[in-house]
Amino acid sequence: MERETDYFTAYRSLKLTRGNDGVLVAEFHTKGGPFTFTASDHTDFVDAFYRISQDRANKIVILTGAGGEFIPNIDFSTFGNVADPGVWSQVHDEGVQILENICNIRVPVISAIEGRAHIHSEYALLGSVIVAAEGATFHDVPHFAGGIVPGDGIFTTWSYRAGAGRAEAFLLNPQPLSARTAQEWGVVAEVVPNGKSLDRARELAALYLKVPEVTRRNTRVHFIQPLKERIVREVGYGLSLEGASAADLVKSMQAGGKPSA
């Protein structure tokens, strides 16, 4: 219990609960309701996913969100002046580390999606299996539509799961993508009635737990390896490109004009 309380209650926006079966549910939230992503959460999640990955008492991990949403909103103002190289250096390093640490979770990860996965949907796509409610939608609110490069891993994960052509079109003209379409693209494994994604994720977890632990762990390691290699190879560079575009966006806004070509 001592180790559990050591990190289970350490993060403001990530509720961690684990049953006697070893299934850890990691729920994104803001004060118990739908999650609004902030800079402090970006910092917290580096440590959170590292701790989750190293805790061998976690037999299965389920990622989900509170209030009928996955990650619907972001508060850009909390990140400060992203044109400042020091500010972006922290964003860059944390962004790389979060994704690598999710990849390093060495047990099956199930993403249970309700409502809007409109911010950092790449977290969900690093799961072994995605279960989405009928009304769930996937989107990329912060990047190209807002004037910056989608370089934080969202292209890497979507192109890996759905194919490069679909990912490029989706990210260049971001519109809400339904759970059914995401299933047709091969991103979502199962579509369930609204409110039932977590229940179905638990059913899948119980099924996976019937397999010996080393087999279960090694299967996750094997399945995530090709995507992990792309994350390591591409995301640091992508975030550098995104940082340059963010600086240009801030510069153009300060000048009262439009982003330069």
Which positions are catalytic?
Answer: 122
Distance of CA 59 to the CA centre of its chain: 20
Q: Which amino acid is it at 84? A: D
Reported as half-sphere exposure (CB side, CA atoms, 13 A), residue 118 has a value of 19
Q: How far is CA 231 from CA 54, 96, 102, 159, 170, in A?
A: 19, 8, 11, 12, 19
Q: How far is CA 114 from CA 18, 126, 179, in A?
A: 20, 17, 10
State the residue for tokens 């989405």.
132
Q: Alpha helices of the chain — where are they, by DSSP H? A: 2-8, 39-54, 85-103, 121-125, 154-162, 164-172, 179-184, 197-208, 213-254
In this structure, are residues 158 and 125 in contact, taking their beta carbons and an 8 Å threshold? yes
Note the residue count of the chain.
261
Burial class (CB in 10 A: 0-12, 13-18, 19+), 215: exposed
